[in-house]
Structure 1
Amino acid sequence: MARSQSSTDPFPAPTRRGRGRDRHGRGIRSSATGPYLPPLRTRIGMFDMTIAATVDYLRGVWPAELSSVRFEVAPGPDSAMSVGGVERWSVDSVARRVVFYRLPIQRLSRLHRNDEFHQRMIIESCVFRAVAEYLGKDPWDLAPEHFRHF
């Protein structure tokens, strides 16, 4: 069956495809949760969930030392720069408080592969290093049984 040509140009211009393209006259696509509900997974939610899960794990390993410690998340440190660069966390042993700074951890960490798994690993490593600083231990000593198979 022969196809009819509607234009004389043998190479028509490619169509621009984007996130909100109008497909078959149905209108621009919306999010899966609808216009009135928040997205199911956000970067902030994933960050908070990773911090909470790692802290729960470490509290299970070190219950006596970490039972009364408050773990908090803040967007960034009060001072923009310290002597060694931008802080990723701060530890206050007297007030028994550890604060994680979300933006420096997410934005200033150099990942060799930028996917969800490596982002979680960076967040977990910051939690381990901050808790190790609080306890005065090496991060590898926090869960020795967890890494025994290596």
Structure 2
Amino acid sequence: MAWRRSRTAATIRRPDRHGRHGRQGRSPVVRPPLPPLDTRIDRFDLSVSTAAEFLRSAWPELRDVRFEIADMPPATDDDGIPRWTVLTEAKRIILYRLPIERLGHLHRDDDLHRRMMVEGCVFRAAAEYLDKDPWDLGPERFRYF
């Protein structure tokens, strides 16, 4: 009996390319040509950073300002939930992701309109920091259209 086990084990050896069930190796689920997966947080961060870089290039007063993202504002007894906080002395603008994403009312729920809503909040927060109207933050070439 012992001789038989050793003989079968020596003669029946599967090649390395087979899995434990005798099948060949399978391809990975996500192949390299597919775009990387992104999340809502990644898209929000990208929208804030591109709008902030645009504003920094247009307004020298904003070059030293840090645009930060937090999930929720601290609890307050005020009416309403703030979408951002402007700290002029500390040169910081804090945008709150969850209130912006969940409390914004879009007339069309798609990626473009969500991005425009986020960018609009960045512009309004920067306008509050500069004590200007948000419509005044665009460069001269956009004012007449």
- TM-score, reference length from structure 2: 0.73
Aligned pair partner of 1:78 in 71, 74, 81: 74
Deviations 1:17-41 (CA, angstroms, capped at 9, x unpaired): xxxxxxxxxxxxx97479xxxx621
CA RMSD of aligned residues (A): 2.0
Deviation of residue 80 (structure 1)? 5.4
Deviation of residue 94 (structure 1)? 0.9
Structure 2 CA distance for partners of 1:146 and 1:109, relative to 1, 3 Å: farther
**2:52 corresponds to:** 55
Query: Identity of counterpart residues, as a percentage?
Result: 52
Pairwise mapping of residues 7-26 of structure 1 onto structure 2 (< 5 A)? none
Contact 1:71 1:98 (8 Å CA) reproduced: yes
Cα distance in 2 for partners of 1:33, 1:55 equals: 34
Task: Point out where structure 1 has 5 or more consecutive residues left out of the alignment.
Answer: 1-29
Task: Point out where structure 2 has 5 or more consecutive residues left out of the alignment.
Answer: 1-27
Aligned length: 115
- TM-score, reference length from structure 1: 0.70
- DSSP 3-state at the match of 1:112: coil
Cα distance in 1 for partners of 2:142, 2:105 equals: 24
Q: Supply the AA of the counterpart residue of 1:117.
A: L
Deviations 1:26-65 (CA, angstroms, capped at 9, x unpaired): xxxx97479xxxx6211000000000000000000012x0
Pairwise mapping of residues 1-150 of structure 1 onto structure 2 (< 5 A)? 32=30, 40-63=37-60, 65-79=61-75, 82-83=78-79, 85-150=80-145
Q: Whose helix proportion is higher, 1 or 2?
A: 2
Contact 1:74 1:101 (8 Å CA) reproduced: yes
**1:7 corresponds to:** none
Q: Supply the AA of the counterpart residue of 1:76.
A: M
Q: Supply the AA of the counterpart residue of 2:68.
A: E
